[in-house]
């Protein structure tokens, strides 16, 4: 689908220079001399490289529509993670690099959303939160106030998370996957 260069919005996926890019920032510029243009910050979907590009309103770019597919995480095999399509039960292999840092929070049976382009996986969207178990937590230092002090803890997936002083080893906690922060104690 062709759109004008000044109609690109953050989150749009476009084909530019033979590659797929997602727009992360856009700003419209009207210089005193010459025509208006859109300054767009693009990120390559496959390798994450960034590109700043100018698009005039007379230029057209190809907007790409991705298919969102619900999948269930099955297991890891070396640096590849295997997911199962929720409707067709087809297995989809995705490289660890494509998932990024949140890969540490993948758990068997976890429901994720996979963006596909021409039956090829492009990206994985994880749930907002997950539950992990604290396997190592520092002891509480007397005199610390509970309101603003946090201590480091290690989760069962190896990720270091800052937690409140009352969290002990063996406690199950809810963690926000996006920035790896403590949310609350898990309800059992």
- Tens digits of residue pLDDT in 149-182: 888 999 999 999 999 988 899 999 999 998 899 9
Mean pLDDT of 60-64: 88
Residue-level pLDDT at 148 = 66
Measured CA to CA, the distance from residue 22 to residue 40 in angstroms comes to 10
Percentage of the chain exceeding pLDDT 90: 36
Residue bearing tokens 């698009």: 55
Measured CA to CA, the distance from residue 30 to residue 93 in angstroms comes to 45
Residue-level pLDDT at 57 = 79
Q: Is the pTM of this model over 0.85?
A: no
- Calculated CA dihedral for residues 29, 30, 35, 36, nearest 10 degrees: 40
The per-residue pLDDT for range 85-123, each reduced to its tens digit, is 999 999 999 888 778 788 899 999 999 999 888 888 888
């Amino acid at each position: 689908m062709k759109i004008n260069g000044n109609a690109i919005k953050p989150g749009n996926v476009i084909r530019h220079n033979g590659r797929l890019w997602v727009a992360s920032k856009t700003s419209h510029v009207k210089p005193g001399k010459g025509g208006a243009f859109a300054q767009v910050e693009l990120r390559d979907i496959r390798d994450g490289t960034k590109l700043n590009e100018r698009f005039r309103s007379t230029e057209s770019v190809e907007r790409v529509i991705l298919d969102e597919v619900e999948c269930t995480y099955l297991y890891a095999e070396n640096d590849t993670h295997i997911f199962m399509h929720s409707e067709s039960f087809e297995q989809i292999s995705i490289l660890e690099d494509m998932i990024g840092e949140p890969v540490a929070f993948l758990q068997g049976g976890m429901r994720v959303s996979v963006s596909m382009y021409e039956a090829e996986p492009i990206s994985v969207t994880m749930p907002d939160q997950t539950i992990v178990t604290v396997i190592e937590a520092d002891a509480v230092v007397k005199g610390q106030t509970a309101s603003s002090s946090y201590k480091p803890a290690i989760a069962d997936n190896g990720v270091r998370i800052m937690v409140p002083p009352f969290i002990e080893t063996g406690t199950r906690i809810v963690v926000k996957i996006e920035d790896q922060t403590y949310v609350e104690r898990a309800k059992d």
